[in-house]
Homo-oligomer: A and B are copies of this chain.
Amino acid sequence: MAKVTIRDVAREAGVSIATVSKALNNVDVVKPSTKRKIIDAVKKLDYSPNLIGKQLKSGSTRTVGLFTSSVRGPYYSILIDGLANFSEKEGYGLNVFISSDREKIMNTLRGRLVDGALLFDPVISQEEIALLNAEQIPSVFLDRKISQMNTTSIVFDSFQAGYEIGNYLINMGHQRIAFIAGYAGVYDSEQRLLGLKQALFEHGLSFPDEYRLEGMFEREASYNAILSFIRLSQMQQFAFPTAFVAGNDLSATGAIKAFKHEGLRVPEDVSVVGFDDIDVAEYFNPPLTTIKNPIMSQARGAIEMLMELMDGKKDIPSCALPGELIIRKSATSI
Contacts and interface: CB of A to CB of B under 8 A. Distances in A.
A111 B280 contact: no
A108 interface: yes
B95 A253 contact: no
Interface stretch (A13-21, A46-54, A193-201): A46-54
A241 to B, nearest CB: 22
Residue among A77, A106, A219, A253 with the highest chain B CB neighbour number at 10 A: A77
A135 B96 contact: no
B51 A113 contact: yes
Contacts of A106: 48
Contacts of A284: 283, 285
B3 A135 contact: yes
A71 B71 contact: yes
A95 B95 contact: yes
Contacts of A88: 98-99, 101
A78 interface: yes
Contacts of A50: 56, 111-112
Nearest to A253: B283
A219 B48 contact: no
A98 B83 CA distance: 10
Contacts of A333: none
Interface in A71-88: 71-74, 76-78, 80-81, 84, 88
B49 A111 contact: yes
A181 B49 CA distance: 40
Contact of A80 (B46, B56, B71, B113): B71
A324 to B, nearest CB: 20
Given A80-B98, A95-B96, A110 B48 contact: yes
Given A70-B81, A134-B1, A51 B112 contact: yes
B71 A107 contact: no
Contact of A74 (B49, B74, B80, B131): B74
A221 B136 CA distance: 45
A96 B72 CA distance: 14
A279 interface: yes
A97 interface: yes
A77 B73 contact: yes
30 contacts: A1-B135, A1-B136, A3-B112, A3-B135, A46-B131, A46-B134, A50-B112, A51-B111, A51-B113, A52-B55, A52-B61, A52-B111, A52-B113, A70-B81, A71-B71, A71-B77, A71-B80, A71-B81, A71-B96, A72-B77, A72-B78, A84-B98, A84-B99, A93-B97, A93-B104, A94-B97, A96-B96, A96-B98, A219-B283, A280-B280
